[in-house]
Structure 1
Amino acid sequence: MIPAVVRPVQLALYQGVADPPAPRSRRLTVRLPRRLAVVPTSRLDLVQAADALLAAIAFLTTLSQVSDWNVKAVSPVSEGFSLLMAVGVALPLALRDRWPLAAWRTGFLMLPIGVWVTSSIGVRPADAPYTFLMVLSCLLVSYSAAVRCERRITVAIWVLSVLTAWIIHPNSMPVAAVMVTVAVLFGYNVRVRRTATAQLVVEEQRTQEAVGAQAVLEERARIARELHDVVAHHMSVIAIQAEAVPLKAAGDPAQLEAGLADIRGLSLDAIAQLRQVLGVLRDQDGRTDTAPLPGLDRVEELIANARATGLTVLVKRPTSLEGLAPALGLSAYRIVQESLSNAMRHAPGATVVVDIGRDDGGLRLHITNGPGLAPAGPRGAGQGLVGMRERAALLGGTLDAGPVPVGGFQVTATLPVDATTERGSG
């Protein structure tokens, strides 16, 4: 119990350290003239300048006041004690901005000298051994210490100040206690508000960093999804055609040349789409010129590529799909592309039905493939299905995918068509 009481007193008197000063507003500083500046960018702190001016006024006024008292006093004090009293009043005012706790300690230790001087001369201003400047100096340094010191030190400063006032002059102790309490509470309130503001700034910075990190992750996921869709589809078609072309040509140079030309065309298309996806990464403002994003108007190309690998593809689609926003068309295109790629890898030679419909509820995609006619390729990591679900979810739609009881696989997606998805349709 005793250490808990003594520790704050030790911190207040000699062990504690005040917090560093808060950043000063530039409105409270002025640039010094070049002939007065130590360095070209020197600025004058108006708060510190005001404290220095107040300290100088308090020092000179106290010296003058004690000198006047000595003229009328029966037993005047020496000039040395007059000087010490003036220093005890002025020095805390000069120190309170840079070193508030040191300023309070200086005033606290020098207070007995001032009280002794007023008592020895026989002058008791306002029936108490304190001058107005002594009271002002004490209140200002107590406020500054409360602003910059932790709560334990602030409480100890208040207790020591009130006890000292009671010991020196019990009759004026209630008024002194009220004045010190107001100064300390006002300073502590300022400290609490500054601390809360600083914490709020830190939390806002953390929130902004978290939002930025989330945006980076979402952009990475988007790019990875696009790359997966482009690479998976084209590489699957190229790999299958590279295996099937020699068998289909059966030594016919014309068919072999035509098959290789198809593979070359697919490769160039894959490279073009990769450049389109990665182009934005080469320009921080996203102004890289790219070709229009693919949409459902290019679904026939996907079907032609799938048929070239041996799939039998049946298509059902509306006569017109105009008016779809680019984002909606791209997502639908990628879902069809990934579904056909999965059928090429896992059900070679199968029959695939691509059903594209549109009604008031949105755009409907239904892609079903039967069992393959050849051994399936190795199973992937499932990122294609994850990417399709993410595309649908980003547009507020749904996507279901799973095996068909009679054999095969199906993908069903519903993408809403509303004012949001249609605003870029023109």
Structure 2
Amino acid sequence: MTSPPPRRRARAARQAVLRLITPLVEALVTGAPDPPRPRTGRLNPRVPQVLGVLPFRNIDLVLLADLALAFLLFQTELGRLRELVAETRSSLDVQGLVLAALAFSLPLALRHRWPLAAWRSAVLLIPLGTMICRQLLDMPYTAAVAIMFTLVVYAVAVRCERRITVGAWIVSVLGAWMIHPDSMAVVTLMVTVTVLFGHNVRARRLALGRLAQEERRSEQALAGQAVLEERARIARELHDVVAHHMSVIAIQAEAVPLQAAGDAARLEEGLGQIRTLSLAAMNEMRRVLGVLREGDEHPDTAPQPGLGRLEELVGTARSAGLTVTLRLGGDLTGLPAAVSLSAYRIAQESLSNAMRHAPGSTVSITIVRSGAELRVQVTNTAGHRSPGLPGPAGHGLIGMRERVSMLGGSLWIGPVGTGFAVTAILPIMENA
């Protein structure tokens, strides 16, 4: 096997060095933490009205706890260092002791708002504090240093990306080795456990955030689906209303002048029927479109049409030149509103199709209730023109299928002899 060329080896070495240096550079210089998470009401209560003159409206209890703990560590460490100076009769002055106590406590006050700045200041100040206290302490790390640095490292692991956290871990371990090699194992264990715990907390929070985001997206999708379904329902209702009434009006407008044959009374009667049909169509359109109005103080509460208006529907079709026979069977009272409306619309759409494609034809409407089913059958003869309803793309046929499918029923549509037939089986359910 031949060894890789020198250029490739050099490129691989540079990439390895960059992969090692990048986390260190981000942790020490260029990295930035995530913004702080929003606090709950318990951890971020509002300022009492008595203290309303304060420049902030809420009290961050976590930040307040950090400041209080930093002050406590400062006081404790300063008192302990003074006692050691008295015991050892050291020549350290008060300024040095204050500086050492600040080095062991100050980064803690920064960790909530600026976790990386807090860790960087701890990396710089801890060696300075240990140098000042070297002649007083056998062990360079005190309890205050352990508490402060653990909390600061935890804040970095929770608020920063993994590369930055890895760089902070490497720098912390190397710093412990340079300050006191004998305690490096203990410091490494403490820092490693803290980093892993903080990283797991961060991963859990991110997962919960993604889950909440997905739930919001799912709710938005469901809301959008509901809007689309409502639009489809309104479009279906509009089609049924417009298609039927406009077909009747168009046929009447064509037939009335021929039937009147110059008779003004018959012409006036025919135009009156057209006007009545037009007003009925407009009233139904207003009712359907009423659901789209916003801020309507007086919404239209007129009931949806049902089988009770079949005679009116048949009368309208007869006035348009169709010969319609209607046969009802079984107990049709007390039907669910959705079933009654769907049966009415199927009959209405079938009559409209017969008017358009088989004018002058004979139409038979049979609606029979048998047990828990309602059977709707509409057949028409060929009429004056050859039958030929729109294909599957027709909106009327699509509307029929949607209505029947919504109720869990069955629908058959197709030519029968020289005519056409529509047969629907609608299950009768009390919650329909």
Is the 8 Å Cα contact of residues 345 and 377 (structure 1) preserved in structure 2? no
Which residue of 2 is the match for residue 235 of structure 1?
246
Task: Encode CA deviations 1:360-410: one digit per residue, 9 max, x unaligned.
Answer: 251111112222304789969611111111111111112222233x32322
Give the aligned length: 416
CA distance in 2, matches of 1:114, 1:39: 36
Q: Residue deviations 1:303-361, cap 9 Å, x none?
A: 11111111122222216411211111011101110110011011111222212122125
- 1:121-160 to 2 correspondence within 5 Å? 121-124=135-138, 128-160=139-171
Q: Is the 8 A contact 1:96 1:141 kept in 2?
A: yes
Please tell me whether the aligned partners of residues 280 and 286 of structure 1 are also in contact (alpha carbons under 8 angstroms): no
CA distance in 2, matches of 1:110, 1:35: 40
Match 1:359 to one of 342, 357, 370:
370
Write out per-residue CA displacement over residues 142-169 of structure 1, whole angstroms, 9 at most, x where no aligned residue: 1111110111111222222223223322
Given that 2:331 and 2:369 are in contact with CA atoms closer than 8 Å, whether structure 1 keeps it comes out as: no
**Distance across 2 between alignment mates of 1:201 and 1:285:** 35
- Calculate the TM-score normalised by the size of structure 2: 0.90
For 2:106, give the aligned amino acid: L
Q: 1:244 — aligned with what?
A: 255
Of residues 277, 289, 312, the one that matches 1:301 is 312
Structure 1 Cα separation of the partners of residues 370 and 49 of structure 2: 76
Identity %: 54
| Residue in structure 2 matching 1:218, options 220, 226, 229 | 229
- Aligned in 2, Cα 1:229/1:18: closer, same or farther, shift over 3 Å? same
CA offset digits 1:152-187 (Å, max 9, x no partner): 111222222223223322332222222222222221
2:399 to 387, 391, 402: 387
Give the distance between the partners of 1:70 and 1:40, measured in 2 at CA.
42
The more displaced of 94-103 and 67-76 is 67-76
2:291 is aligned, of 267, 270, 280, to: 280
Greater CA drift, 9-18 or 266-275: 266-275
For residues 237 and 17 of structure 2, the distance between their equivalents in structure 1, rounded to whole angstroms, comes to 69
Code of the residue aligned with 1:188 in structure 2: it is: H
CA distance in 2, matches of 1:63, 1:69: 10
Say yes or no: does 1:91 pair with 2:102. Answer: no
Unaligned runs of 5+ in 1: 422-426
Q: Hey, what's the Cα distance between the residues in 2 that align with 1:75 and 1:272?
A: 101
1:330 to 325, 336, 341: 341
Amino acid at match of 2:369: R
Q: Contact 1:346–1:376 (CA<8 Å) still a contact in 2?
A: yes
In the alignment, what sits opposite 1:175?
Answer: 186
| SS of match in other structure, 1:43 | coil
Whether the aligned pair in 2 keeps the contact of 1:348 and 1:375 (CA below 8 Å) is no
Give the aligned CA root-mean-square deviation in angstroms: 2.3
Structure-1 separation of matches of 2:238 and 2:304:
13
**Structure 1 residues 134 and 221: CA distance shift in structure 2, 3 A:** same
1:160-199 pair list within 5 angstroms = 160-199=171-210
Contact 2:336 2:430 (C-alpha < 8 Å) held by counterparts: no
Counterpart for residue 254 of structure 1: 265
Counterpart in the other structure of 2:57: 42
Q: Separation in 1 of the partners of 2:114 and 2:56?
A: 24
Q: Does 1:373 align with 2:384?
A: yes
CA distance in 2, matches of 1:373, 1:163: 98
Consecutive unaligned residues of structure 2, counting only runs of 5 or more, are 1-15
Mapped to 2, the partners of 1:215 and 1:287 lie a distance apart of 24
Q: 1:315 to 1:206 in 2, by over 3 A?
A: same
* TM-aligned CA deviation for residue 228 of structure 1: 0.8
Greater shift after overlay, 148-157 or 235-244? 148-157
Residue type at the aligned position of 1:264 = R
Pick aligned residue for 1:102 from 117, 127, 131: 117
User: What does the per-residue CA deviation read over 1:175-204, in whole Å, with 9 as the maximum and x for residues that have no partner?
Assistant: 222222222222112111111111111111
Which amino acid in structure 1 is aligned with residue 194 of structure 2?
A
- Normalising by structure 1, report the TM-score: 0.91
On the 8 A contact 2:245/2:277 being kept in 1, the answer is yes
- My pick for the range that moved more, 56-65 or 195-204, is 56-65
1:62-101 correspondence runs (5 A): 62-73=77-88, 75-101=90-116
Q: Determine the structure 2 residue equivalent to 1:290.
A: 301
**Equivalent position SS for 1:419:** coil
| Aligned with 1:22 (options 37, 40, 44) | 37
Select 1:118's aligned residue among 108, 116, 133: 133
Output the CA distance in 1 between the equivalents of 2:260 and 2:221: 57
- Deviations 1:197-216 (Å, cap 9, x if unpaired)? 11111111101110111111
- Aligned equivalent of 1:413, options 418, 424, 428: 424
